[in-house]
Structure 1
């Protein structure tokens, strides 16, 4: 009993955590792309939907025990519209029905938005599926989300029509059972879709000549060379983390102070020269390329230092300075090197892009 009462609050907490985590991940580089905006919208709507469920559930439970005479019959609160209760002169029941309808309509609207936006994002993910299995489950997921959005929209319409008609059906046992079944199907299908999602080395193993879905261009003598080059590219691929740091003055808009940047490189590059090409994107979306002769931006990168590989992805939250820091002493067993630098920006509302160029004969990866 107590678990059932606390379950909605647990769902609210999980949704709030998921939304905040998604926001932190998406805003780390100071720039939201379309995919991140869609997922943030869906997560925020899911959170609002879970919050409204805390109000909607108890409201419907109370309504189950509310009966009053209407047209010479005893009817339940939700078995008649608001207009009918007003015509009967039962102001209390009319106000109770209005509140219940408003809460239910808000809850359903947020659910429809969340499922619809996520279905939109899944449609984009289908185009980039790494295998037919992943594409199949993503298609099922999109279909499930579409049905969920349709059911929520139907409930929204039913709630709005509750001002004039019986609206008990929108939370009837068949409807709630369908919603529960859709929720379970969504979770199971999502788990299977994530299982078949392949990236990096896992995708290479799937597409190599002895994998389950060999790439046609990787077959034969020439294909074997291409296959090994693809593996080398994966093993030598750099990783870049960035965090934008803002100042929030009492008056005026926020201003970007700069970026913390971490560059993770494989230990096999030790002793090699890696070239960095920073690109600042201004508020109008125009890229501004920089060279060592034109701008002190390179000096900011050069004033960075090597840090412990365990700190990869853990960037400071406060603005840095240009003081030189001591380098971390790497051990022979360390497989990566991590360069961290504070890059101050002269202009506000800018985004930073970084191109990484390996020296020949290493495989190039920009």
Structure 2
């Protein structure tokens, strides 16, 4: 008698159920981010040893820079809020199928407008009037700056990637010109420490503190949280969010359904610019309350990275922004207190981005295959 043919049994129901439950968790942006931090931290440990610094000393310096004091936490929260605003705007534009790489230029436009408005306000302006004026000026300028790219796309079909990228250089250049020319925003010559920069904003145009005198955390943290929450609700639970998603999937099909594709695309890009402009205004309204050359410190490009890594999730925007904000502040103290070269910190941050991107690509591919 011949043996019975071999058959492959189906996976046990319990195994299938476990896989169904675990796979989404592993593919979640927050989980991916945590795993990437662990890998980047391991590489950073090797770089620290190579620099001749003990791991314990480097770790203490990093933790001290992130959580060691109220000042460190407040400074990290301010940085995270700026990144979250830029990434939130990027997410809205991306939902409509657009890629806004002009956060740096829009941030510069917002900061320039905020400084121009703030420095013209009287010294006794109340905060209830001065702060909104400065922030609204930044929003309007950033939105108008992104609107240039939106109009070129609507009228000429020009790629918003190219136009927003090139407008970055124009925005940075305008800030440089404004703070170098006394006829524009440069304050009168007083000492070498004050050049090149604008005059300081009056007291009533400065963002109020929310963490007490020992913490530099300002109202921009609250504004960023509210903006992310409201944006998330709009994108997920309103007709506007549904229309943006439809345009992002297929502009041609959306147009045949009667949706105002041009208006939705232009509006989403303008919103991204307004959010970045608000971030720029906040940087001017935070200590030292001046518009200085290179004041943006690359926040526009870092916010772009946050938006890309978040993959459209506002929850992930908040998590990645906090991660980058605290790492940036901790990295500064790592250089100062532990003597680790700045290049090592930059390498770790770059590897963090690469690990997250690679993990997201792998999990997305595996998800599709399954």
TM above 0.5 = no
- The bucket for the TM-score relative to the shorter chain is under 0.3
Q: When the two structures are superposed, what TM-score results if normalisation uses the length of structure 2?
A: 0.21
Q: Larger helix proportion, structure 1 or 2?
A: 2
Instruction: Tell me: higher relative CO, structure 1 or 2? Use CA pairs within 8 A at least 6 residues apart.
Output: 2
Between structure 1 and structure 2, the one with the greater Rg is 1
Q: TM-score, normalised by structure 1?
A: 0.21
